Amino acid sequence: MRENVAEMVNASGRPFGELIREYRRRSHLSQEQLGALVGIKKNAVGAWEAGRSRPDVASIPVLCKALGIPLHVFFGMAEDLDTFHLNERFSRLTPYNRQVVLRQMDTLYELQSREEVPSLRPLVRLFHSELSAAAGPLSYIEEARGEMIYLAADEITSKADEIIRVSGDSMEPSFEDGDQVLVQHVDRVQEGEIGIFVNGDAGYIKEYHRDGLYSHNPRYAPIRFSESDSVRCVGRVLGKLRPDQRATMEEIAAFGGNRL
């Protein structure tokens, strides 16, 4: 059910959705990109901007950090507002709107007292496979073993479904032996894209072309398959996993139990 309209505006009367849309456009972000930074779906950002809902308490510091919105601006409270001016404006509000402002002030106080919150990032959880890909063997993809790990949510990690380790030097210099790559599960890739391919029980990370699978290391010839081979694509490689994308223990403790 849609929240009360009075709860869709800040203390200065400005709609939260209008504010979010303005700062998102200033930052040259799409709704999908902002959602990835905050750890929510694009539809949720659209609902905020349309005034159908507003960010919850846990999302506000992350949202403001992503868009560069000072918290006092988000809540519509002047940073240097003196007590007389505050009381004068507060007295002109309806009783209901006074309660809205008081709840927002309580929220600000809670966020201010929890210094660790603004530094925490939204997280995603991905399957970290024990399998490797490059020159095989990969074993059967359906029998993959591994563990779920937490990563910071960004435009890349939010699209990924799995992490796979590169084996061998056939994709150097783009990917080296031991690199962890973020993989999005798809059954086909475009020509020139890098994918994960399976043929029988062997797995490969290669650049796809219509006439074969290509390595980036010139020492390796393209892999070509006959019609009798059962080659299939299982994923698109989005990029390497960077150390800074791994979640800290503090972030996992704060977000892992109730947000994922």
- What digits encode the pLDDT tens for the residues 2-26? 445 556 888 788 899 999 999 999 9
Contact 235, 186 (CB under 8 A): yes
Cα angle vertex 114, ends 78, 14, to 5°? Answer: 30
167 & 70 share domain: no
Are residues 107 and 61 located together in one domain of the fold?
Answer: yes
Give pLDDT, residue 131.
Answer: 62
Alpha-carbon torsion angle 156, 162, 168, 170, nearest 10: -50
Please, which pLDDT band fits residue 130 given cuts at 50, 70 and 90?
low
* CATH at 25: 1.10.260.40
**Which residue from 145, 142, 140 is spatially nearest to 199, judged by alpha carbons?**
140
* Same domain membership, residue 17 and residue 114: yes
Q: Crossing angle for the helix pair 60-67 and 95-113, nearest 10 degrees?
A: 80
Please provide the average confidence, as pLDDT, over all residues in the chain. Answer: 80
Domain of 94, in residue numbers:
5-119
133 and 79 together in one domain: no
The model's pLDDT over 179-213, given as tens digits with 9 standing for 90+, comes to 999 999 999 999 999 999 988 778 889 999 999 99
| Predicted local confidence at residue 119, as pLDDT | 56
Do 146 and 239 share a structural domain?
yes
User: Are residues 237 and 130 located together in one domain of the fold?
Assistant: yes
DSSP conformational letter for 249: H
- Number of structural domains in the chain: 2
Answer yes or no: is pLDDT of 256 > 60.
no
Q: Are 128 and 240 within one domain?
A: yes
118 compared with 15, residue with greater pLDDT: 15
Does 155 share its domain with 208? yes
Q: Which of 64, 91, 119 is the last residue of a domain?
A: 119
* pLDDT value at 115 more than 80: no
* Boundary-marking domain end, from 119, 140, 158: 119
DSSP 3: P
Backbone angles phi, psi at 35, to 5 degrees: -60, -40
Which one has a higher pLDDT value, 81 or 170? 170
Q: Does residue 237 share a domain with residue 201?
A: yes
Give residue-wise pLDDT tens across range 36-73: 888 888 888 999 999 888 887 778 888 888 898 887 78
Among the candidates 66, 93, 119, a domain finishes at 119
Q: For the domain that residue 201 is a member of, what is the CATH number?
A: 2.10.109.10
* 235 and 185 inside one domain: yes
